[in-house]
Every structure is written in C-alpha cells, then in structure tokens.
Amino acid sequence: MDRDQLTRMFKEQLIPQPQSFELKGDSLFKLANGCAIQINGPKDAQTEAVRLLAKYWGINASIAVGDCATTIPSEGYCLDATADRLLVEASTISGMRHAFRTLRMMAEPERGKGCISGTWNLPEMKIEDAPALSFRGLHLCVFPETRFNDVAKKIRFAAYLKFNVVVIEFWGTFPFQSHPELCWSELSGSREDWAKLIREMREEEGVTLVPQFNVLGHAPNSRSCTCQHVVLNQHPEMEPLFEPDGWCWCLTNPHTMKLLDEAVTELHEFFGRPPYFHIGCDEADSVGLCSECRKHPVAELISNHIRHFRDLFAARGARIMMWHDMLLNRSDKRWENYTAMAHDYQHLEDMVKTIPQDVIIAAWEYGYNFHRIQGDVTYPTTMFFKENGFDTLACPWRKLDVIRSSAALAQKENLFGLLETTWHIFYGPEMKGMFATTAQAAWGVGGGASFGQTTFDRAWRTIVKDMGLKDYNDLGVSDFQVIPKTYGSLG
C-alpha cells in the first residue's frame, strides 16, 4: 500500500476526520505501560491524561509536562507521534479530551496475539485539528418506548464523535416530582439513572446536556399521529390547562403558568443548571383559541409567554432557545419553500421585534421543498434571525446534503452553531449517516470526506464496551437484524 493509500486509510478511521493529517514514517509508537508521552496543556492536563490512559487502555505512561499550548484554538489539539514518544498539545481540557478520542480511534491492538496484550500501535503521524463550530449540538427525543440504555448509548457516542451539547426532549418520560402527571412511565430511566449520566457527561466528557420542555405547542407530549395525551389521558379533569384541542397550553390560565414554571425549574435544576434551556415553541397551530385567550392578540400572548420564560431563566443564569417557525408567517413570499408556520389570522409577522435578543433561535430547515428551489439553497429564514441580531442555530434533520449545507452556512455566516435533530429516526443506517455526517460537518470537514462503515461500527462497539452492555438488543444501532413479522405472511 503506497503512502497516499495508507494516509487515506488512517484518516478514514476517524470521525470526524482531522483538519490536517501527515503520515511521517513507517515505524510505530507503542502505547503501553511506561511509554513516553509529552503533555503540553492547561492546568490539570496531566491528571486528565492519566485518567484517560487508564480508562481507554488500562496503562500508566511516563508523562512529561510542558507549558500550555496557548496558541492552539479552544477545543483544538495537536498530536505528534514518533517511534520513541507521543506529544499531545492543547490549550483546554476539552482539546485534551478530543486528542485522546482521536488516539483511541486510531490505536490498534498489538498484532500476533490471541487477546489484547496491553500494547497498542499508533503510526508515526502528526495531526493538527480544531472544530469549525463552537456549538456542536445533537437533539434527541426520549419516547416511552425508548430504553434508557439506548438513549445513553447515543449520548455517549455523540461525545465520542466530539459533539459538545446534547438537547434532551422528554416525550412524557421524565419522572417529575413536582408534577408526576407529566410522565407516562419511568421506562426511559429513573431519576438516579439520569442524574448519574448528566453528571458523568458534564464532569468526564465535557458535554452539556440541555433539557427541553414544550411550553407552547406539542403539549400532549406524544407524537400527533398517536392521538395520545400524557396529561388528559390520565387526568381528563385537567382540561382547562389546555386549548380546547389539547395541542397547546392555555396561556391565560394562571394554573397553567404555575405548572409550567414548576416543571421547567425542576428540569433545569435536575440537569445541574446548564447554561441553556430549550422551550420548544414550534407548530403551535391552536394557540390562543379558547374563550379567554381569544380576548387577547395572539402575538401579545406568545410574546409575553416567551419573555416570561426568558426572564425566569435569566434569573437562573441561563438562556432559552426556541424553534423559529412561529415567528414567521407562512404566507410571506420571502420564506417560500422554507419553514414558516404562523397563520395569517394570528398576525405574528412583527412578533420577532418584541422577543429579547438574548433568546437563541433554533432555525430548523429540513429540506422538504429544496427540490423546487432554483439555484443555491440560501436559508433566508435562518439568515433573517441572524440579521436581526439573534444568536441563531442551524438545525438540519435527516438529509445529508442539508446537514452539510447547514454546517457550511453556520461556519460562513458565523452563526451560533449547529443543532442536528433526530426525532423518531433514532436507529439503523439512517441514524449512522446523520450522526457521522453532522460530526464531520461541525468539525469543518469537507463534503467529500468519507468514513468507512466499519469505522463507525468500531467506534460504536467502543461505547457499548465502555457501558458494559451485554444484552443483544442493547448492542446495536437497531434492536433487530431482521424486522420481526407483525402482519403474517405476504405470500
């Protein structure tokens, strides 16, 4: 295999691929007990390196410590391996962690053994790397059918692929103490399970878990196609808290506001008071339709509602983020073929002027109508909020070209970052493409960069091993290799 082929092979072992990769020689660095490692990093870098060496490979290295590499961008890192020593440089602990994740993806167990011997091989190489976006987010939903181990795998896997924010939207699955009526069950993890995961991700992986609670629409906390309602199916007497169809919360009812305040405060506190909280606010078709809410302009109701939660979380040292679509009128020609959900009769076209500008706008564009667009995809909806002074997240979904173009826009226009949404597409080959493509794009890797199927598989098995999972249905990206027959024979 020539040098170019070998370089390509090593790069394709990494998700995301590094910005710069140089294969320097044909010898190997032996990652084993007593190996020589030079650490140039911030305070506590040596302590973190010792922890990661023990966690990833079970070894103790001979570590020398140098000055912090202050010229390296935040979260960036440099690796330089020769046959005799490994140099790891970073300016932050996050960068140090990313460096060791890259090393773990590259390290190959010593050959010629029946089992792992305690020695791993690394090529002589030099890597210089840094993310293109500082906010690299993933949005995950937790349904009643979602097993805790399944969502925990994906959160841990996101950390391994160098995401740094994961938004968790509970669909009637968080076991509230203040309002247990908001939860279907505890099938998706106990409070103890979630508390441990949140703490470990924050302290050991450097990933911020951000809770989401829908304070406007999507009030049933169930997918609309199921006709289920987490509150009204269990407590029909609580109907006055909602608009007549149950889809939106009643914004003029003080009992609604008391419940929402207590629920979001409990969630935020439970998650360790992260710097963000997602309040949803998408697809609120039936907002303001009850006999009391009809007395008020819908724009005034929603604007006051958003400002209420903005103030509540500002007092807690956090910023709210919200979906963008109810801030744009669907009949406005400027948004043709893009996402806007406000109806003409709601008169919401000027509401954006009343929203505090420290609200983070999560602009979701999934590309359903992009085939109708002549020329480049310009994302006018996303740019509208950026041009109006808002920190704006580009939020793609399942289409890989949309993920890449959204990340490119975020980088080019200096947006707040990228938030990849997954919704119910949580499994299988499509999930693989979404995770890996977003990781590459958020790190600034060009659209032509590839990764091997087996590269993804190996990385996935790494996380499964770390979690100590053994049950067959816990091991893969799907529960089954062959979907069980549910409707009998088709013959």
For residue 484, what is the DSSP state? P
Q: How far apart are CA 201 and CA 108, in angstroms?
A: 26
What does pTM read for this prediction?
A: 0.95
Q: How far apart are CA 145 and CA 222, in angstroms?
A: 11
Name the pLDDT band for 451 (thresholds 50, 70, 90): low
Look at residue 186 in the predicted model and tell me its pLDDT: 63
pLDDT, one tens digit per residue, over 385-429 is: 999 999 999 999 999 999 999 999 999 999 999 999 999 998 888
pLDDT, one tens digit per residue, over 195-228 is: 999 999 999 999 999 999 999 999 999 988 999 9
What type of residue sits at position 301?
A: L
Q: How far apart are CA 290 and CA 284, in angstroms?
A: 14
Contact 449, 8 (CB under 8 A): no
The domains of the chain are located at 3-129, 136-475
Q: Which CATH architecture has domain 3-129?
A: 2-Layer Sandwich (3.30)
Name the pLDDT band for 192 (thresholds 50, 70, 90): very high
The SS3 assignment for 14 reads coil
Domain over 136-475 is classified CATH 3.30.465.10: no
What type of residue sits at position 230?
A: V
Six-digit token pair at 398? 């399942």
The SS3 assignment for 357 reads coil
Q: Crossing angle for the helix pair 191-200 and 254-270, nearest 10 degrees?
A: 50
**Ranges of H-type helices in 115-203:** 148-160, 191-200
Name the pLDDT band for 488 (thresholds 50, 70, 90): low
Buried b / exposed e over 9-23, threshold 16 CB at 10 Å, is ebbebbbbbbeebeb
Look at residue 185 in the predicted model and tell me its pLDDT: 72
Look at residue 187 in the predicted model and tell me its pLDDT: 66
What type of residue sits at position 130?
A: A
Contacts 24+ apart (CB under 8 A), 250-259: 250/290, 250/292, 250/293, 251/216, 251/287, 251/288, 251/293, 251/301, 251/302, 251/304, 251/305, 252/290, 252/292, 252/293, 252/295, 252/296, 252/301, 253/292, 257/308, 259/179
Cα 314 to its chain centre, rounded Å, is: 23
CB proximity list for 292: less than 8 A, separation 6 or greater: 250, 252, 253
User: Is the predicted pLDDT of residue 163 greater than 60, yes or no?
Assistant: yes
pLDDT, one tens digit per residue, over 59-105 is: 999 999 999 989 999 999 999 999 999 999 999 999 999 999 999 99
User: Is the predicted pLDDT of residue 489 greater than 60, yes or no?
Assistant: no
For 109, 140, 148, 491, the CA distances from 198, given in Å and listed in that order, are 31, 14, 13, 49
Percent of the chain with pLDDT over 70: 97
Name the pLDDT band for 486 (thresholds 50, 70, 90): low
Contacts 24+ apart (CB under 8 A), 412-416: 413/383, 413/386, 415/382, 415/386, 415/391, 416/135, 416/360, 416/391, 416/392
Q: What is the mean pLDDT of residues 297-319?
A: 97
Contact 280, 218 (CB under 8 A): yes
Look at residue 447 in the predicted model and tell me its pLDDT: 62
